[in-house]
Amino acid sequence: MSETIRVLITDDHPVFRQGLKGLLQALGVEVVGEAENGPEAVRLAAELQPDVVVMDLHMPGGNGIEATRTITRTSPRIGVLVLTMFRDDDSVFAAMRAGARGYLLKESGAEEIARAVRAVAAGEAIYGPEIARRVLTYFTDMPDPRRAAFPELTEREREVLELIAQGRSNAEIAGTLFLSQKTVRNHVSNIFMKLHVADRAQAIVVAREAGLGESTPR
């Protein structure tokens, strides 16, 4: 960025604030203020309008999650970069829900912190390597809602319903799943009975409301 980035540091440890301030200033970042708790960060952010608030999470006198939520709601242009020692999932996702654009651990290196400040100032979202892995693992391990839908159906019936939701005929379903058309008709009848629907059209509506029919099965 060509313009100087203006940063507000929020942390309850004066020594850490001074160290971070020196680091950022050495890299050409302007530190416009320091806060030692959440409420003070909210007040100074409104007054100073920095580009980035570097925010610790757990501080006496007011936590960083509430401060982040208030700052991002009242001043959306200000980016919040969480810099904390807490790496648990609850803290990470609470900060994300509150509107933080970045999340780093205090053990991060100087260049990583500086890069994150620049990214957040530019409107990007950035997470340290360990936090990024946690976020990726969380979303990768999330159950497929389509699998959670219709637990009364067998796996084969769910496959048939997926194809029904795609608008496939019984003949097309039989060809796709390598079944006889009689077997497909039996599956379709069972699906109608279990889902309490009268016909194919109703089955399609119910299935699509649950997210089925959006992709072609392998």
Percent of the chain with pLDDT over 70: 91
Cα torsion through 19, 23, 29, 33, rounded to 10: 0
C-alpha 177: how far from chain center: 36
Contact criterion met (CB below 8 Å) for 217 and 175: no
Give this prediction's pTM. 0.63
Hey, which residues does 80 pair with through a beta bridge? 53
pLDDT tens-digit readout, 152-163: 888 899 899 999
pLDDT tens-digit readout, 53-72: 999 999 988 889 999 999 99
pLDDT tens-digit readout, 96-152: 889 999 999 999 888 899 999 999 999 998 888 778 777 777 666 555 555 567 888
Q: How many residues does the chain have?
A: 218
Over residues 187-196, the mean pLDDT reads 93
What's the rounded Cα separation, in Å, for the pair 101 and 81? 6
Decide if pLDDT at 217 tops 60.
Answer: no
pLDDT at 218: 40
Mean residue pLDDT of the chain comes to 88
Q: Name the more confident of 140 and 166.
A: 166
Decide if pLDDT at 209 tops 90.
Answer: no
- Collapsing DSSP to helix, strand or coil, 4 comes out as coil
Q: Residue 215's pLDDT band (boundaries 50, 70, 90)?
A: low
pLDDT at 148: 62
What's the rounded Cα separation, in Å, for the pair 70 and 187? 53
pLDDT at 118: 93
What's the rounded Cα separation, in Å, for the pair 205 and 65? 41
